[in-house]
Structure 1
Amino acid sequence: MMSERNGDHNVAENGETHRNPTEVKMCQIVLPCHSNHCGELSAGQLLKWMDSTACLSAERHAGCSCVTASVDDIHFEHTIGVGNVVTIIAKVNRAFTSSMEVGISVTCEDLYTDRHWRVCQAFATFVARRTEAGKVQLKQLSPHTQMEQMEYSLAAERRRMRLIHAEIITDLLSSSTAQLGECQEYQDAVPAERTRVESVELVLPPHANHQVSTFGGQIMAWMENVATISASRLCNAHPTLRSIDMFHFRGPSHIGDRLVLKSIVNNAFKHSCVSSCCSMEVGVCAEAYQGGEPQRHINSAFMTFEVLDGDRKPCTLPRIRPEPVDGKRRYQEAIARKKIRLDRKYIISCKQTEVPLSVPWDPSNQMYLSYNNVSALKLMDTRNNWVLTSEKNKVRLYTLEENQTLCFKVEMYVSVSAEQTFHLLSDLRRRKEWDRHYEECEVITQADEDDTIYRIATPSVSKGGKGQDFILLASRRKPCDVRDPYLIALRSVTLPTHPPTEDYNRGEVLCAGFTIWEESSTVTKVTYYNQATPGVLPYISTDIVGLSSSFYSAFSACSDFLEANKDSLSTASQQPISATDMLSLQNEQ
């Protein structure tokens, strides 16, 4: 093993080469002892290496012992053969109170062909262990490069998703039972009981970390082992692990504990393009006990496997016959998790240019649409190569042409508190008080305290032409701390209840919104962003080329609107704390 301090050789904004002090790099050559039956690196072994690298990064930042709290979903893009070199890079993206997010990237290298490829990316949460002096207060990170700033900003949004991960499944199961489908009986189905595996491991000193607790990576490797056996019993073949849903460590285990690992196939799935089952979900849990004490729940995970043929294509799998009651519940939950995986892959993982401008909205994909909406705005906010196009009375217009897309931003300062500015701008119904392009605005759905869907109508840009209307998801976010802005993110969604009409051309917005930074208690920087689409370009093209100053007029009107209402009673201040905010307070590490 080689573990080394290897700086992030990125260029900081001041032009100097930046070395990230939390980065840890591990290089491993895959030996036969690390491989499975196919001569490929065991996924369990890879998880051990990833966890140890991430832990070293977390401890380098914290200056004390750290434990794994959770690992986000992992999708394995490629397998790794014996003789290949695996490179794992981990670095802290953001520290909160006593927890921190560590980003992990895994790449592979063929030494004989000099070919490199990406294997997977993961985000792990580590918690600094309490010291003799009490609870640890982590020092905060200061991002130096554009990439670090982006990951720092997105870490807060990913943390938000982790805190309500369980709620998403619960809500989907309670509201979409009919959608998920009933459990059907098939004559050729394999009884789920046949795939049940139970194994016990005695935690010995070699399995412990430097804190004398069971190494988290070792637990994950044991879980992957029993899950693979379950999958093999369904297919009577050697399965390949494709993805893992979030690992969440609920408690520690120690040397001398007996670790009981249980797994079973929950469901077998069809791919969208075929009628037969091509993948399966295996549920696995780990429980610990010592002596005659009751078993403690340590960890749970859900792993998706495929069986690949000689051309690396998925083979047909048998159907599963779930056990009564609990088996049918797991069968339904597996369908819900699959839907969430597809939503996440479709909405979050794809490149922006490959995602339709308007994504269908339904309550089950709300969290991922909201995440994508806020993340897209944060990504635009972290870019540092904007070009100043014009400036008039302290209202600045910037443009950015990149990857055949045109983005623009408008920046100004107002003598209004950031919180009040946020409350005034986040209600889009009031935007028509200062923006002449907002002719009509109505609330369609108040999804929760932070997400609202509006219908907005705008006038025609040409005489006698039709106006446009937009169905927009508005996601608002308060800062996690003083280094974050207030955010109001906008993107188009589609609703079956609001199809396009003959009276209006349906416009679409891929990414737009406001970032609101507190400069002082009375001065706020307001920045408006828009990733220009065909529906938006007619309204802004003359401003960008310098033939018009309508943007100056609109944002001067916005400034006047904010100034006139800076002392008005905030409607948001009268609202109860949101469930998400309450959960964040309860789970703050």
Structure 2
Amino acid sequence: MRSFYYTCPENFGLHVCVICPPPAERHAGCSCVTASVDDIHFEHTIGVGKVVSIIAKVNRAFTSSMEVGILVTCEDLYTDRHWKVCHAFATFVARRTEAGKVQLKQVIPHTQKEQMEYSLAAERRRMRLIHAEIITDLLNSSTAQLGEFQEFEDSVLAERTRVESVELVLPPHTNHQVSTFGGQIMAWMENVATIAASRLCNAHPTLRTIDMFHFRGPSHIGDRLVLKAIVNNAFKHSMEVGVCAEAYQGGEPLRHINSAFMTFEVLDGDRKPCTLPRIRPEPVDGKRRYQEAIARRKIRLDRKYIISCKQTEAPLSVPWDPSNQMYLSYNNVSALKLMDTRTNWVLTSEKNKVRLYTLEENHMLCIKVEMHVSVPAEQAFYLLSDLRRRKEWDRHYEECEVINQADEDDTLYRIVTPSVSKGGKGKDFILLASRRKPCDSRDPYLIALRSVTLPTHPPTEDYTRGEVLCAGFTICEEFSAVTKLTYYNQATPGVLPYISTDIAGLSSSFYSIFSACSKFLEANTDGVCAQPPSSF
């Protein structure tokens, strides 16, 4: 942790850059380099004279890379007020040694919070790896709408916002590895981006987000850094500025070392966002950047209203489409991982080593069913991840059909369940099922379920539409061919009638259902494959 008086905005990135590598290098036991910094969202600004605290901690290590969580807070010593400035995640890579590629030791989480960050780090890594594909798919699927560029009389030429600056890397700009501080490059990039944004609005803009800050290569003492910025698109209250940094020395050709996308707002006297003028993009590359900015804005909105939404505030069902699939899947898996890290469960009932637990927290009721089965974890994972086979052991599943195979690990299903009362209507559910294999031996297999809405499958008069906020399985092999199977469900009005009698102790249907599940798993040892449900 580092605390300092905030006296110069340009030094902020340097402080972040200085505080983050030590935890990474301490864990790796060798020098590390920053690969990227993810999706920085500035919730509040920092005033000169305030005390800023930066905390950095390794959340998880993979083969040769690790995720470092960064939390920036601010303190006003005169009013004793504290507030969060931003939260970000940096990826560090261990430098190769003479012995070859460094194999990082695993992080061992101790607290519930550490366990949650450890689990979510794997899902965030998955999102980083497929981010470019999501942008491409979104652009391809929206070509018709994005292509309809409309010119406005008061629009500003994008070319007018173009900024180019050259900086010389001097010894004070470099770290202990004699490479330019990433925070210094970030400060220089922010400087040219701010100038570009100011040229659009003729006012002082406020930085709100930094996306996709990628370190593509190092720069050293004596390098000239060419920093370029241009406004890619202007929306009603915000604008996106694309920035890149290129380096050269002497007569060398330019080499691309950094890039990022920064979002700015202009605030009025009441700290409310002002309406911005339209942008008129340049032909070809300008229109491409204009369209890509729309796609990234879509992703930022998904991230804000899907991932950042607290579970107690989340809607039961959210609209699904291919463009927000990545973030819905992340939210689906992270909600289950969060439930799995909780420790204050209360044992409600037990029968023949099948245990039912409950947890009441923040006006929400969660249940957990736990048992051991004599089958390998991978086999149980593939059998349970195909929900169409669940009706073979769960009497609450009457029908199950695959609506859409989003990708290899994410599937949309329609489930039909019987009525809990005589003469009542049955219920149907539209569920997103996200399955995940372990990243290492301490991770369980995961099958996460949550409700979504689809315009192709609206509610019908024949069934009452039910909703699932969070449910699913964690599957962990404890011994050879002995697997711990845990089922979770965050009770909703649509689900509660099916489980309330068990919680109240009026029945033990949970035992009969999960006993049938155990027999189903043990009876289907052959023919299990790793294909997605649509391939079965």
The TM-score by the shorter chain falls in which range?
Answer: over 0.9
Alignment equivalent of 2:390, drawn from 431, 434, 449: 431
Distance in 2, Cα, partners of 1:72 & 1:181: 29
Q: Against the structure 1 CA distance between its residues 443 and 122, is the aligned structure 2 distance closer, same or farther, given a 3 Å change threshold?
A: same
- Whether the aligned pair in 1 keeps the contact of 2:236 and 2:275 (CA below 8 Å) is no
Change (3 A) 1:540 1:588: closer
Aligned-partner SS, 2:118: helix
For residue 476 of structure 2, the aligned residue among 508, 517, 521 is: 517
SS of the residue 1:164 aligns to: helix
Whether the aligned pair in 2 keeps the contact of 1:189 and 1:318 (CA below 8 Å) is yes
Is the Cα contact below 8 Å between 2:281 and 2:287 reproduced in 1? yes
Deviations 1:133-159 (A, max 9, x none): 222111111100000000000000000
Structure 1 position 65, deviation (Å): 1.2
User: In 2, Cα distance between the equivalents of 1:382 and 1:136?
Assistant: 30
Structure 2 equivalent of residue 179 of structure 1: 145
Q: Percent identity of the aligned residues?
A: 91
Secondary structure of the residue that 1:422 maps to in structure 2? helix
Distance in 1 (alpha carbons) for counterparts of 2:242 and 2:302: 20
Distance across 1 between alignment mates of 2:409 and 2:323: 16
Q: Answer whether contact 2:193 2:230 (CA < 8 A) is retained.
A: yes
Distance in 2 separating the partners of 1:465 and 1:180: 47
Show the counterpart of 1:418: 377
Contact 2:175/2:181 (8 A) holds in 1: yes
Q: 1:150 aligns with which of 84, 104, 116?
A: 116
Q: Retained in 2: the 8 A contact 1:439–1:456? A: yes
User: In structure 2, the residue corresponding to 1:354 is in which secondary structure?
Assistant: coil
Counterpart of 2:49?
83
SS at match of 1:337: helix
CA distance in 1, matches of 2:350, 2:535: 43
The alpha carbon displacement at 1:82 in A equals: 1.3
Match of 2:535 in 1: 588
Q: Secondary structure at the match of 2:479?
A: coil
1:98 CA displacement: 1.3
Q: Normalising by structure 2, report the TM-score.
A: 0.93
Query: 1:344 aligns to what SS in structure 2?
Result: helix
- 2:517 and 2:144 map into 1 onto residues whose CA distance is 46
What is the CA distance between 1:250 and its match in structure 2? Answer: 1.1
Distance 1:147 1:191 in 2: 48
Distance 1:396 1:179, change over 3 A: farther
What is the Cα deviation at residue 181 of structure 1?
5.7
* Aligned CA distance change for structure 1 residues 403 and 80 (closer, same or farther; 3 Å): same
CA contact (8 A) 1:180 1:336 kept: no
3-state SS in 2 of match to 1:94: strand
Quote how far apart the aligned CAs of 1:427 are: 0.3
1:178-228, CA deviations, whole angstroms, 9 ceiling, x for partnerless residues? 344622111111111110000111111111110011111111111111000
2:325 is aligned to 366
Does structure 1 conserve the Cα–Cα contact (< 8 Å) formed by 2:236 and 2:276? no
Contact 1:183 1:331 in 2 (8 A): no
- For residues 17-44 of structure 1, the C-alpha deviation after alignment (integer angstroms, 9 at most, x for no partner) is xxxxxxxxxxxxxxxxxxxxxxxxxxxx
Cα deviation digits, residues 431-474 of structure 1 (max 9, x gap): 00000000000000011110000000000000000000000000
CA distance in 2, matches of 1:459, 1:392: 25
**C-alpha separation in 1, matches of 2:256 and 2:505:** 64
Q: Secondary structure at the match of 2:296?
A: helix
CA distance in 1, matches of 2:480, 2:96: 35
CA distance, structure 1, for counterparts of residue 447 and residue 82 of structure 2: 39
In structure 2, distance between residues paired with 1:246 and 1:361: 24
Q: Which residue of 2 aligns with 1:263?
A: 229
Superposed CA deviations along residues 324-345 of structure 1, whole A, max 9, x for unmatched, are: 1111111111111101100111
Distance 1:488 1:361, change over 3 A: same
Cα distance, 1:545 vs. partner? 1.0
Deviations 1:315-363 (A, max 9, x none): 1221111111111111111111101100111111011222211110100
Change (3 A) 1:550 1:94: same
Task: Name structure 1 gaps, 5 residues minimum.
Answer: 1-57, 272-278, 570-574, 577-586
Decide whether the 8 Å contact of 1:269 with 1:280 is kept in 2. yes
Once the 2 structures are TM-superposed, how far is the Cα of residue 568 of structure 1 from its aligned partner? 3.5
1:509-558 CA-to-partner distances (Å, cap 9, x unmatched) read: 00000000011231000000000000000000000011100000000000
Distance 1:270 1:564 in 2: 59
1:40-77 superposed Cα distances (whole Å, 9 cap, x missing partner): xxxxxxxxxxxxxxxxxx11211221111000001101
Q: CA deviation at 1:384?
A: 0.6
Aligned-residue CA RMSD (Å): 2.5
The 1:588–1:82 alpha-carbon spacing in structure 2 relative to 1, beyond 3 Å, is farther
Cα separation, 1, equivalents of 2:473 and 2:303 = 24
Write out per-residue CA displacement over residues 356-404 of structure 1, whole angstroms, 9 at most, x where no aligned residue: 1111010000000000000000000000111111110010000000000
Q: Distance in 1 between matches of 2:324 and 2:69?
A: 24
Count of residues in correspondence between the two structures: 510
Distance 2:124 2:150 in 1: 36
8 Å CA contact retained: 1:97, 1:588: no
| Distance in structure 2 (CA, Å) of the matches to 1:76 and 1:499 | 38
SS at match of 2:44: coil
Contact kept? 2:427, 2:466, Cα under 8 Å: yes
Q: Give the conservation status (yes or no) of the 8 Å contact 1:417–1:566.
A: no
1:69 counterpart = 2:35:
yes
1 CA distance for matches of 2:522 and 2:356? 21
Task: For residue 165 of structure 1, give the secondary structure of its aligned residue in structure 2.
Answer: helix
Say if 1:72 and 1:247, in contact at 8 Å, map to a contact too.
yes
Are residue 108 (structure 1) and residue 74 (structure 2) matched?
A: yes
1:56-103, Cα deviation, whole Å (9 max, x unpaired): xx1121122111100000110111111110011010000111110000
Alpha carbons of structure 1 residues 250 and 421: separation in structure 2 relative to 1, 3 Å: same
Q: Name which of 157, 160, 178 aligns with 1:212.
A: 178
